[in-house]
Copies of this chain bind each other. A is one copy, B any other.
Amino acid sequence: MSTKGSNGSPGSTGTWLTYRPEIKVLDCTIRDGGLMNNHRFDDAVVRGVYETCVAAGVDYMEIGYKNSKQQFSRDKFGPWKFCDEEDLRRIVGDNKTDLKLSIMADVGKCDYETDIAPKKDSVIDLVRVAAYIHQIPSAVEMIQDAHEKGYEVTANLMAVSTVHESDLAEGLQVLAGTPVSAIYLVDSFGSFYSEEIRALTKKYLDACKGTDIQVGIHTHNNQQLAYANTIEAIVSGANRLDATLSGLGRGAGNCPLELLIGFLKNPRYKLRPTLDCIERHIEPLRRNMHWGFDLSYMITGLMNQHPRAAMAYLDKAAADRESIVEFYDSAIEQV
A→B interface (CB under 8 Å): 1-2, 4-6, 8, 161, 191-196, 223-229, 231-232, 235, 256, 258-259, 262-263, 271-272, 275-276, 278-279, 295, 298, 302-304, 323-325, 328-329, 332, 335
> Which among B196, B227, B295 is the interface contact of A224 at CB below 8 angstroms?
B227
Q: When chains A and B are docked, how far (Å) is the Cα of A335 from the Cα of B4?
A: 14
A-B contact pairs, 30 of them (CB 8 A): A1-B302, A1-B303, A1-B332, A1-B335, A2-B335, A4-B161, A4-B193, A6-B193, A8-B195, A193-B263, A194-B228, A194-B231, A195-B235, A223-B259, A223-B262, A224-B226, A224-B228, A224-B259, A227-B228, A228-B228, A228-B229, A258-B295, A262-B298, A275-B328, A276-B323, A276-B324, A276-B325, A278-B324, A279-B295, A279-B325
Given contacts A227-B224, A272-B325, A324-B278, contact A304 B258 (CB under 8 A): no
Given contacts A225-B227, A279-B325, A328-B272, contact A2 B298 (CB under 8 A): no
In the complex, chain B residues whose CB is within 8 Å of the CB of A298? 258-259, 262
In the complex, chain B residues whose CB is within 8 Å of the CB of A272? 325, 328-329
In the complex, chain B residues whose CB is within 8 Å of the CB of A161? 4
> Which among B2, B227, B228, B303 is the interface contact of A304 at CB below 8 angstroms?
B2
A243 CB to closest chain B CB (Å) equals 12
In the complex, chain B residues whose CB is within 8 Å of the CB of A259? 223-224, 298
What would 20 more interface pairs be, CB under 8 Å, given A194-B232, A275-B328?
A2-B191, A2-B303, A2-B335, A6-B193, A6-B195, A8-B195, A193-B231, A194-B235, A195-B235, A223-B227, A223-B259, A223-B262, A224-B227, A224-B256, A259-B298, A262-B302, A272-B329, A275-B295, A275-B325, A279-B295
Q: When chains A and B are docked, how far (Å) is the Cα of A328 from the Cα of B256?
A: 17
In the complex, chain B residues whose CB is within 8 Å of the CB of A4? 161, 191-193, 196, 304
A28 CB to closest chain B CB (Å) equals 18
The answer to whether A279 touches B323 (Cβ under 8 A) is yes
Q: When chains A and B are docked, how far (Å) is the Cα of A191 from the Cα of B1?
A: 13
Q: When chains A and B are docked, how far (Å) is the Cα of A196 from the Cα of B196?
A: 20
In the complex, chain B residues whose CB is within 8 Å of the CB of A332? 1
9 smallest beta-carbon distances between A and B, as pairs: A228-B228, A5-B193, A275-B324, A262-B302, A279-B324, A276-B325, A224-B227, A275-B325, A6-B195
Q: When chains A and B are docked, how far (Å) is the Cα of A190 from the Cα of B262?
A: 13
In the complex, chain B residues whose CB is within 8 Å of the CB of A324? 275-276, 278-279
Q: When chains A and B are docked, how far (Å) is the Cα of A324 from the Cα of B276?
A: 7
A211 CB to closest chain B CB (Å) equals 28
A142 CB to closest chain B CB (Å) equals 31
Q: When chains A and B are docked, how far (Å) is the Cα of A256 from the Cα of B224?
A: 9
Q: When chains A and B are docked, how far (Å) is the Cα of A6 from the Cα of B113?
A: 45
> For A225, A232, A263, A304, which residue has the most chain B Cβ atoms within 10 angstroms?
A225
The answer to whether A302 touches B6 (Cβ under 8 A) is no
Residue of B nearest to A8 (CB): B195
